[in-house]
Every structure is written in C-alpha cells, then in structure tokens.
C-alpha cells in the first residue's frame, strides 16, 4: 500500500507521558537504547573548543571499519537519522518500497522528498523498486534476514538500503563484511547511540562503495559530527572487551524481560536484545496500566495489540517493572 504522510511517532516521548499522567520518577522503556551506556572517557579540551580535524575523523572511520568488519567506505553522520534524511536525495525520486511494518521515518523521509512510497510485506516484493528499504533486525517485530539473501536482492533493485541500527548485538546479521567496490547499489546504515547507550551523542555511520559514500559525505557537508562524538566514538568502537560483555548482558536481560512478560500472560512477537515486542491484547490499556506505575512503553497505531519495551538499566528498575507486571503495584 502507498504511504501517506502520517504523524511521525517515536519512542522516547516521555514528555507526552508526563503531560498525560503527571510528573514523577519515570522509568522510560519506550526506546531500544542500551540503558547501561559506554563509560565516557575524559576528553581533551580540543574536542570541545576546536573544529574536528581530518586526522581525528580518519581515526574514527578506521575504528568503525574495524568494528563493523568491512572494507567499504564509511561516512560518519549525526546519527542514523541523519542518513535516513539523506537517502531520498541520493537519486531522482521514483518508486520506493519499504518492508513494513518498520521504523516510520524511512517512508516519511522518502515521501517528503517526492518519492512514490509503497509498503510491502515480504522481501520478494521489494524487487523491482528504484529504491528499497528494510531494517535488519527489524523494529519493532525483530524480523531477521540472512545477509547473503539481501546481497542477492540488491541485484534486483536500483538502490538497496539496509538499516542495521539494532545489529550490534548480533553482528552475524550484518551486511557490512560483504560490502565493497562490487556492491555499488548497497547502502548500510549503522546507529552508534543505541548499542553504546549514548543516543544524545548523535553519531551514526553510512557504509557503501566509494562513489556512493562520497555523495553521502557531500550531502552531509563539513563537520557532520562533533569533536566529542569523534573522540568517544573512536574509544567505544575499539573497546572489544566492553562490546563482548555488553552483548552477553543484553542477551540475559532480554531473557529476563521475556520471563516477566510471560508471567503477565503476554506473548512474544519478536525483538532484539535491546527491545522486546509483545502481543498483550489491548496495548493502550497495558500502556496505561504501566504508566500508573510511572513506566513508559511504546505502542503502534498499526498493531493495537503490540507493546514494545526496552530494558531497565539497574536492579531497582527491574524490580519496579516486575512488580508492575505482576499487578502488585495497583
């Protein structure tokens, strides 16, 4: 079906929760951001006071190529969202297809730039599009696609955009190692803030062959990311021990959340180690019930039974959530 430019709703809308239910000590589980962030190192004063220099940017891009195990060209941007805004400008508007349901900014950004956008339900239906978009693993249902299958699909579309914003906990899903000069119509987007828990830093990456990457860099303009983002990103992307420990913790926390949800009678729809989506019957009612305990969650207009939760960041948060799910806080 064709996309109409509807409201672009997102998680992280805690202001809305406060307007409806009042202020208080809120536990915001409406996003898929790691609640235990990478420990920010001490930064040199120049990261704040000077414009970023080419040497520092080159070090960040080298760290990203190593972290994502890719030989592709890498462009640093102010979050994956900045890349999503650039994608519609990479070629003249035509027919775009988006594998849905998914993060609504992809279709909305394309529509706003004059693309004829159609949402499709299967990977096969993306074939033949001038531009095709999918999220792997998908938000919010966690659907996963084999990278080799996506590589074959790229030969059947004008430009294939694969948003890997939630792929850090599952690197085996990534297309990044398959990218290079032989994949001129493949673009992979990576978020930094979600896995590293530093969404406010506004850092992300576009991975592509050299000519496409150069076009993205030109559209982004100079100084697309800040000095602090360059310094912190370089440190975090190179910290393999922290990454391994975090993947292990996220896997265990996702299982704990599934157990708590099952005790409330909810059925798992899918998700990633950073968020889980459940069939709860009446999602608005479930969201309202948790909001009375000052716990904020995510609902979706196209799936009235789906409720998505991120992970609590500490034991106190887990106790609050598990108590609310058990109905003991009412």
Per-residue pLDDT of the chain (330 residues; tens, 9 = 90+): 444 444 567 777 898 999 999 999 999 999 999 999 999 999 999 999 999 999 999 999 999 999 999 999 999 999 999 999 999 999 999 999 999 999 999 999 999 999 999 999 999 999 999 999 999 999 999 999 999 999 999 999 999 999 999 999 999 999 999 998 899 999 999 999 999 999 999 999 999 999 999 999 999 999 999 999 999 999 999 999 999 999 999 999 999 999 999 999 999 999 999 999 999 999 999 999 999 999 999 999 999 999 999 999 999 999 999 999 988 544
- Cα separation of 229 and 123, whole Å? 35
* pLDDT tens-digit map of 14-49: 989 999 999 999 999 999 999 999 999 999 999 999
Instruction: Tell me which fold the domain 14-37+241-325 belongs to.
Output: 3.90.1150
DSSP structure string for 253-293 = HHHHHHHHHHHTT-EEEEEETTEEEEE-S-HHHHHHHHHTT
Instruction: State the alpha helices, DSSP H only, in the chain.
Output: 14-21, 46-49, 54-67, 80-86, 105-112, 147-154, 193-196, 210-220, 227-237, 240-263, 283-291, 315-325
| Strands laid side by side in the 131-135 sheet | 73-77, 204-208, 186-191, 159-163, 131-135, 95-99, 116-120
Query: How many alpha carbons lie under 13 Å from residue 282 in its C-beta half-sphere?
Result: 6
* Exposed/middle/buried for residue 86 (C-beta within 10 Å: 0-12, 13-18, 19+): buried
- By DSSP bridging, strand 116-120 and strand 95-99 are parallel
Q: Could you tell me the pTM of the whole model?
A: 0.95
Pick the CATH number of 46-238 from 3.20.20.70, 3.40.190.10, 3.40.640.10, 3.30.420.40: 3.40.640.10
Chain region(s) in the chain for CATH 3.40.640.10: 46-238
Q: What is the CA radius of gyration of the chain?
A: 20
Chain region(s) in the chain for CATH 3.90.1150.10: 14-37+241-325
């Amino acid at each position: 079906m064709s996309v109409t430019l509807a409201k672009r709703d997102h998680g992280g809308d805690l202001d809305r929760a406060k307007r409806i239910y009042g202020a208080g000590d809120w536990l915001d589980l409406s996003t898929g951001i790691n609640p235990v962030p990478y420990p920010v190192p001490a930064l040199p004063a120049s990261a704040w006071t000077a414009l970023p220099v080419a040497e520092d940017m080159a070090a960040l891009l080298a760290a990203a190529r190593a972290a994502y195990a890719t030989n592709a060209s890498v462009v640093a941007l102010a979050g994956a969202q900045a890349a999503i805004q650039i994608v519609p400008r990479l070629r003249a508007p035509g027919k775009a297809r988006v594998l849905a349901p998914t993060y609504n900014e992809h279709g909305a950004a394309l529509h706003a730039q004059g693309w004829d956008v159609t949402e499709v339900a299967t990977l096969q239906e993306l074939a033949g599009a001038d531009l095709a978009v999918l999220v792997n693993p998908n938000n919010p249902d966690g659907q996963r696609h084999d990278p080799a299958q996506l590589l074959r699909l790229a030969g059947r579309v004008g430009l294939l955009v694969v948003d890997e914003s939630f792929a850090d906990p599952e690197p085996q899903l990534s297309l990044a190692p398959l990218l290079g000069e032989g994949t001129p119509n493949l673009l992979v987007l990576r978020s930094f803030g979600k896995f590293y828990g530093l969404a406010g830093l506004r850092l992300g990456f576009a991975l592509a062959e050299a000519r496409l990457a150069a076009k993205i860099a030109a559209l982004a303009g100079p100084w697309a990311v800040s000095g602090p983002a360059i310094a912190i990103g370089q440190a975090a992307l190179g910290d393999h021990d922290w990454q391994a420990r975090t993947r292990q913790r996220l896997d265990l926390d996702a299982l704990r959340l599934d157990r708590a949800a099952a005790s409330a009678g909810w059925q798992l729809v899918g998700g990633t180690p950073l968020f889980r989506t459940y069939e709860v019957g009446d999602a608005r009612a479930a969201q309202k019930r948790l909001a009375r305990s000052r716990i904020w969650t995510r609902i979706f207009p196209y799936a009235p039974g789906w409720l998505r939760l991120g992970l609590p960041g500490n034991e106190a948060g887990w106790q609050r959530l598990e108590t609310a799910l058990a109905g003991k806080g009412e």
